[in-house]
Structure 1
């Protein structure tokens, strides 16, 4: 098999345009944007904050730098997953990057669900404004009372009642549900009982965010940070009635949809994490060359040469593994790609965390403060070791694939 990680010529030019916009137009506005969050209601965008974000989005859209995530689709640029990896890495270098180019989670995964499995009505009502960047969305799967890393435990009640389904239960870590622009949820629910196979008991249903009976209980904090105005919300559903036509593909198809949604989403997170690691290494190197102690540049003290070298090598290894997983996805065999996606889902956050942590150490007290983006980056990447499946679950999948090469027994 010829395995290629090469960008086509036209896409190399496209990538340079994205890289240029990130460096010269987005990054210079990061601090100004962040400063607006604590003004007034943290869960509403200030006029200036919206002006910055929407202004950048408009520039990107006008320049045709929009919806790169639509791999192998006539609606996008037709990038392969391998090619998109390079774009996602660049976008990961700034907190605003993904949204400016309309490539944010969880919207990309939700848009894929609407495109693949939604009705024409759903596509018009939800997919079109999502593709235009006019609204945001959330994906509600994890629940507080069950171990949701085993998704067969998902237990939110979804009962048919005439022309509706009635939903009762709680979800948490609903990323993006705090955003005032979040207008729709895709929700994993339980529709089948113990008489059905365990992977046929769950379904996915589309729920408008303003449906009566939905109560946002609180934002979940990550190491004391609420991630406003995006937010990871804890939500209660009490007798929430949704038209029966809102169920995706029919009852019992939730796992089928989830696998189609989560594979790309997992690898997109990993691509962006590599971008975060690159930015942390860049900041570390600049600090090491600018700061002095004991009469020497920090780069010349202790083991800092070795630390910088190890960070560079580990980033390169992680990137190659990410590209290999992307290549397997491009071959169209989800089963063959799955172990590679699981590998990079463990490796990329681990490497990014190490590099960010070493950068924090190089900055000393400033590194854990609000004066650099490193502390916030660390909390986001640490959360990624739990999002879309914790490390242990992915290592289990990698080990099962490895053991199957040597036995006929069920692992």
Structure 2
């Protein structure tokens, strides 16, 4: 079968608009936006932050540059996953990029869940507002007391009581739950007992973030950063009553929903990581040409030629693997695509971390400071080696797929 990793001409023109807006409007506002954090309540947007972010979103929406993640959908641009990869890479070049075009995690994955599995009421109350960029959402799966990389361990209790389910337990690393605009959670819960098959014990339920009994215990820090006002929150549920109709699809179908949600989300993270690597390489090259030491530009010192060349080659390799994984997704066979998604989920963050780290080194002490975006980029990409499954889990999936080619036994 012919593998097309390119883009239709009409969508290339659309991408050019995105590239121009990121370069001319979004990136120039990064410093002003981040300078506002901590001036007032860290967990509220200042008037200036809101003005910057909402202004950019309004201009993107007015230009029709909105909801690109709706691949193969008549509600979006009909982009293939391969085509969306190019858009996501560009958006990954700036921390504001994804939200400006309403393509942020975890909202995109949650919107897919609402679209595929939500009731008409959920679509009216939550999906329509998320699609318009009016609110944000969070996805709650990871728990502090169990190895959540094996989601069969998830045990936040969800028990039926009349016309409601009652939730008790804790979740953490709920990304985006600190955002004052976060109005709804999709929560992985345990509904079945030990007598059921292990993949039929978990379910997903939609929870209004303002429901009584929900307590945000603290923001989790990533290498000392709390990512305010977005945040990754540690949350406790104490006798939280949720309408029974908020359970998605029915009891025991959480894994079915999770696989539909996490596959696209994983590859979207990788696409953006490639964009972050590109941005870091650009900064590295500019620094290498502009800064002198020992009478020469940094580019001519040490192994810096080799470092820059290796960065370019590794970015290109990772991009091609990402596009291959995207193409596999576009073929419609989720099982066949899964090992490819696992491959890029390991490769892209490792590559991006290496490139960002070399850019930090080229900048010297400035590289680890707040004066460049590199330190923040490194901590963000480092989390991707854990988010949506750690490296070891994805390597296991790749190895099992490889071994199956040579044995009739399960591995």
TM-score range, shorter chain: over 0.9
CA distance in 1: counterparts of 2:288 and 2:332, whole angstroms: 44
What's 2:54 paired with? 54
Q: TM-score, normalization: structure 1?
A: 1.00
How far apart are 1:3 and its partner, in Å?
0.5
CA distance in 1: counterparts of 2:135 and 2:73, whole angstroms: 21
What's 1:374 paired with? 374
Give unmatched runs, 5+ long, in structure 1: none
What's 2:289 paired with? 289
Give unmatched runs, 5+ long, in structure 2: none
What's 1:347 paired with? 347
How far apart are 1:356 and its partner, in Å?
0.1
Say which SS state the counterpart of residue 387 (structure 1) adopts: coil
What's 1:251 paired with? 251
Say which SS state the counterpart of residue 194 (structure 2) adopts: coil
CA distance in 2: counterparts of 1:175 and 1:407, whole angstroms: 40
Aligned length: 411
What's 1:223 paired with? 223
Pairing of 1:173-192 with structure 2 (within 5 A): 173-192=173-192
What's 2:275 paired with? 275
> Could you give the per-residue CA deviations for residues 266-310 of structure 1, whole angstroms, max 9, x where no partner exists?
000000000000000000000000000000000000000000000
CA distance in 1: counterparts of 2:6 and 2:227, whole angstroms: 36
How far apart are 1:30 and its partner, in Å?
0.2
How far apart are 1:69 and its partner, in Å?
0.1
What's 1:126 paired with? 126
CA distance in 2: counterparts of 1:254 and 1:327, whole angstroms: 26
How far apart are 1:219 and its partner, in Å?
0.2
How far apart are 1:224 and its partner, in Å?
0.3
How far apart are 1:209 and its partner, in Å?
0.2
CA distance in 1: counterparts of 2:105 and 2:229, whole angstroms: 14
How far apart are 1:2 and its partner, in Å?
0.4
CA distance in 1: counterparts of 2:224 and 2:26, whole angstroms: 27
What's 1:16 paired with? 16
Say which SS state the counterpart of residue 44 (structure 1) adopts: coil
Say which SS state the counterpart of residue 17 (structure 2) adopts: helix
How far apart are 1:38 and its partner, in Å?
1.4
RMSD: 0.3
What's 1:323 paired with? 323
CA distance in 2: counterparts of 1:249 and 1:7, whole angstroms: 36
What's 2:240 paired with? 240
Pairing of 1:69-88 with structure 2 (within 5 A): 69-88=69-88
CA distance in 2: counterparts of 1:282 and 1:46, whole angstroms: 31
CA distance in 2: counterparts of 1:38 and 1:250, whole angstroms: 43
CA distance in 2: counterparts of 1:39 and 1:340, whole angstroms: 44
Say which SS state the counterpart of residue 288 (structure 2) adopts: helix
Pairing of 1:29-48 with structure 2 (within 5 A): 29-48=29-48
> Could you give the per-residue CA deviations for residues 149-188 of structure 1, whole angstroms, max 9, x where no partner exists?
0000000000000000000000000000000000000000
Pairing of 1:73-222 with structure 2 (within 5 A): 73-222=73-222
> Could you give the per-residue CA deviations for residues 191-220 of structure 1, whole angstroms, max 9, x where no partner exists?
001111100000000000000000000000
> Could you give the per-residue CA deviations for residues 332-380 of structure 1, whole angstroms, max 9, x where no partner exists?
0000000000000000000000000000000000000000000000000
Matching of residue 361 in structure 1 with residue 347 in structure 2: no
> Could you give the per-residue CA deviations for residues 82-129 of structure 1, whole angstroms, max 9, x where no partner exists?
000000000000000000000000000000000000000000000000
CA distance in 2: counterparts of 1:231 and 1:103, whole angstroms: 18
What's 1:306 paired with? 306
How far apart are 1:323 and its partner, in Å?
0.1
CA distance in 2: counterparts of 1:3 and 1:81, whole angstroms: 13
Q: TM-score, normalization: structure 2?
A: 1.00
CA distance in 2: counterparts of 1:287 and 1:304, whole angstroms: 11
